[in-house]
């Protein structure tokens, strides 16, 4: 058998195995109940039935915006974004290595991390591609709408405390975290993204061990995930098992090809995405819904990455006039802010819009220039409502 034949045999075997996997998945769905298959065609994961399945493998789940009514997003409604899936880690076997440009390389178990000073903070995570489905022309990737965002209470250790224990050398300028995800082929690049040391040392950046009062679930990167508040979700590497300090940014495709947008001053050049945009979404009333005439509370959430939301303006006449909404929710440095606005609804069809502005002087825009990979969607959210 020559090399070409052997390669073909191998591909054939892989293809056969993939079909077995697919059929196995279908069988699992049938065992768990037909409605899920009818809705999504995907194997369900316990407790996530309310989420929209964008892809079962790798698992990508989106929250229906209509369900995101609470200030804290529960596990059942928290979006899941995986570039690659990863195997579950036995907490007793979990090990985090800290190495590279450090004088004191570390090997830490979960108990070691638990014994360190714990911090708790409310942080909004949003996928860089949230809203990709609204871009025109279509950008490749998961076609998220509004729901690849969630706000949770995270508890764990400051990354800075871990890094100080490792004693970074002067050459250390970047932190390169790696997670325990599993690319499907040996040639597929590992999912690695790096951060400048200043952000890693910022006191909000943490290794999270708990989410909403429970150990971080596997779907959200447990038993330990990085949390880089205010930055695009992919910065917060899941299942983090290694943190390497380096003198330069990581040179892999998830830094140099993905998670980049055109520069405003020269769209031919791209830059690596860091902070989330300034953005608000309307949770009520529902787009395309009906409400009774009379007093209606328009509400939603706003967030701004490295900025702080300073105002949300609401229009109930399709953008002709704007009124400041009341910021009613708790204020957190990196958490979203609930807002609401009383509206006296009269019969007819209305377009309601919300527009956030932030401490960095950013205002939610009416449109977005082309972004080939479909990032940064923060166009003013508009919903159409019929008032009976």
- Chain residues binding another protein by CB under 8 A are 5, 7-12, 14-23, 26-27, 30, 34, 37-42, 52-58, 137-138, 140, 142-143, 183-189
Pick from 353, 356, 305: nearest CA to 327: 356
Q: Are 44 and 152 in contact (CB under 8 A)?
A: no
Pick 1 or 92: Cβ nearer another protein: 1
Pick 85 or 99: Cβ nearer another protein: 85
Shortest distance, position 218 Cβ to another protein, whole Å: 19
**Exposure string for 353-371, b = 16+ CB within 10 A, e = fewer:** bbbbbbeeebebeeebeeb
Pick from 320, 338, 321: nearest CA to 284: 338
Q: Are 303 and 265 in contact (CB under 8 A)?
A: no
Shortest distance, position 111 Cβ to another protein, whole Å: 36
Pick 143 or 357: Cβ nearer another protein: 143
Pick 57 or 384: Cβ nearer another protein: 57
Pick from 219, 230, 269: nearest CA to 79: 219
Shortest distance, position 370 Cβ to another protein, whole Å: 13
Shortest distance, position 43 Cβ to another protein, whole Å: 10
Distance between start and end Cα atoms, the chain: 74
Shortest distance, position 131 Cβ to another protein, whole Å: 14
Pick 54 or 332: Cβ nearer another protein: 54
Pick 184 or 342: Cβ nearer another protein: 184
Q: What is the CA radius of gyration of the chain?
A: 22
Q: Please, where are the H alpha helices in the chain?
A: 3-32, 34-40, 110-115, 159-166, 197-201, 253-256
Shortest distance, position 135 Cβ to another protein, whole Å: 10
Measured distance CA(301)–CA(84) in Å, rounded: 29
β-bridge partners, 288: none
Q: Is 129 left (phi over 0), alpha (psi -120 to 50) or beta?
A: alpha
Shortest distance, position 138 Cβ to another protein, whole Å: 4
Pick 313 or 371: Cβ nearer another protein: 371
């Amino acid at each position: 058998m020559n090399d070409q034949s052997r390669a073909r045999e191998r591909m054939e075997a892989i293809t056969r195995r993939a079909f077995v996997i697919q059929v196995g998945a279908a069988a699992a769905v049938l065992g768990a109940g037909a409605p899920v298959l009818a809705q999504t065609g995907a194997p369900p994961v316990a407790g996530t039935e309310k989420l929209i399945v964008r892809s079962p493998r790798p698992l990508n789940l989106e929250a229906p915006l209509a369900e995101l009514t609470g200030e804290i997003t529960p596990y059942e409604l928290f979006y899941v974004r995986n570039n690659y899936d990863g195997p579950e880690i036995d907490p007793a076997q979990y090990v985090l290595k800290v190495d590279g440009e450090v004088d004191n390389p570390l090997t830490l178990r979960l108990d070691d991390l638990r014994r360190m000073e714990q911090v708790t903070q409310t942080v909004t995570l949003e996928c860089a591609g949230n809203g990709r489905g609204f871009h025109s022309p279509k950008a490749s990737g998961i076609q998220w709408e509004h729901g690849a965002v969630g706000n949770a209470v995270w508890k764990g250790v400051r990354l800075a405390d871990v890094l100080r224990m490792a004693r970074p050398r002067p050459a250390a300028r970047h932190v390169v975290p790696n997670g325990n995800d599993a690319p499907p082929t040996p040639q597929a690049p590992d999912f690695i993204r790096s951060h400048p040391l200043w952000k890693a040392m910022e006191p909000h950046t943490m290794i999270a061990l708990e989410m909403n009062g429970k150990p971080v679930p596997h779907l959200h990167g447990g038993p330990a995930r990085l949390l880089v508040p205010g930055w695009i979700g992919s910065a917060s590497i899941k299942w983090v098992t290694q943190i390497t300090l380096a003198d330069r940014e990581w040179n892999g495709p998830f830094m140099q090809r993905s998670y980049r947008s055109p520069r405003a001053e020269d769209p031919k050049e791209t830059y690596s995405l860091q902070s989330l945009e300034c953005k608000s979404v309307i949770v009520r009333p529902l787009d395309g819904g009906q409400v009774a005439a009379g007093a209606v509370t328009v509400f939603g959430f706003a967030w701004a990455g490295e900025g702080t939301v300073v105002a949300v303006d609401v229009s109930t006449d399709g953008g002709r006039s704007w009124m400041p909404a009341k910021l009613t929710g708790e204020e957190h440095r990196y958490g979203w802010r609930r807002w609401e606005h009383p509206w006296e609804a009269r019969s007819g069809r209305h377009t309601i819009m919300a527009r956030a502005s932030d401490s960095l002087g950013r205002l939610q825009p009416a449109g977005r220039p082309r972004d080939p990979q479909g990032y940064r969607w923060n166009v003013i959210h508009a919903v159409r409502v019929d008032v009976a």
